[in-house]
Amino acid sequence: MADRILIFYGSYRSDRQGIRLADYLVRAFAGRGAAPELIDARAIGLPMLDRMYKEYPPGEAPPALEALAGKIRAADAFVFVAGEYNWGQQPGLKNLTDHFLEEWFWRPAAIASYSAGRLAGAHASVAWHGTLTEMGMVVIPSTLTVGSIGHTLDADAKPTGDGGASLTRAFPRFADDLAWWTAAARAQRARVAPPY
């Protein structure tokens, strides 16, 4: 059975370069036999958080929220494509994740960070690690970091130059780590019900 991986991306900017990394990841995971799906926060267009999904009576959540809750519950693993805004998280992606809680539980999450500069989204990656852990996910040890995003992936999300070569070398370990934790979590959930 192919691992169902949701790849979350959250920039709302008109000139989004991080979408290249999200598209690269969809293609790269599919090439390994996984079943990835891009979840683009801007395309889904959830409002600023007022009520979490669980706070709606059954059947009364907005359709986009209901559909996304089902996808999250059905997923085996998550990848968060984390752009860095002023040493922190993209608000669009953070807003999307905050609409849910229990839906995330007991699955692994991986962080792929990026920035226009050389720090490759390191500050955002650190911030997301704590957030995802608090939301009940197991954050894998490997991270993928992409600096100078506009020079590392071209407009078709294909690796270019030294940065692209580095990304191509780093991806297999990142994907192997996520696959191991995905299989471990799936086996444990099948063996014993989560404690809460």
Find tokens 């805004």 and name the residue: 85
Average pLDDT on 127-151 reads 96
For the residues of 11-66, what is the DSSP string, one character each? ---SS-STHHHHHHHHHHHHHTT-EEEEEEHHHH-PPSSSS-GGGSPTT-S-HHHH
Whether 118 has a pLDDT exceeding 90, the answer reads: no
Cite the DSSP H helix spans in 85-160.
91-98, 122-134, 149-152
Q: Tell me the pLDDT band of 95, cut-offs 50, 70 and 90.
A: very high
Percent of the chain with pLDDT over 90: 91
Cβ-contact 128, 76 below 8 angstroms: no
Provide the pLDDT for residue 98.
Answer: 98
Going by the DSSP 8-state scheme, the letter that residue 85 receives in this structure is: B
**Distance separating alpha carbons of residues 74 and 53, to the nearest angstrom:** 16
Average pLDDT over residues 109-125: 92
Q: What angle do CA 193, 195, 196 make, to 5 degrees?
A: 110
Amino acid 27: pLDDT: 98
Mean pLDDT across the chain: 96
How confident is the model at residue 82, as a pLDDT? Answer: 95
Neighbours of 181 (CB within 10 A): 21
Residue 132 pLDDT:
98
Examine the pLDDT at 85 and tell me if it is beyond 90.
no
Among 159, 89, 145, 142, which Cα is nearest to 114's?
145
pLDDT digits (tens, 9 = 90+) for 165-181: 999 999 999 999 999 99
Q: Are 146 and 152 in contact (CB under 8 A)?
A: yes
Q: Is the pLDDT of residue 195 over 90?
A: no
The mean pLDDT value for 151-176 works out to 97
CATH superfamily membership of 4-190 = Flavodoxin domain (3.40.50.360)
Residue of 53, 55, 57 whose CA lies nearest to 69: 53
Residue 1 predicted with pLDDT over 90: no
Strand order through the sheet with 108-114: 35-40, 4-9, 77-83, 108-114, 138-146
pLDDT over 90 (residue 117)? no
pLDDT of residue 39: 98
Residues 6+ apart with CB under 8 A from 9: 18, 19, 21, 22, 38, 39, 40, 41, 81, 93
The per-residue pLDDT for range 5-49, each reduced to its tens digit, is 999 999 999 899 999 999 999 999 999 999 999 999 999 999 999
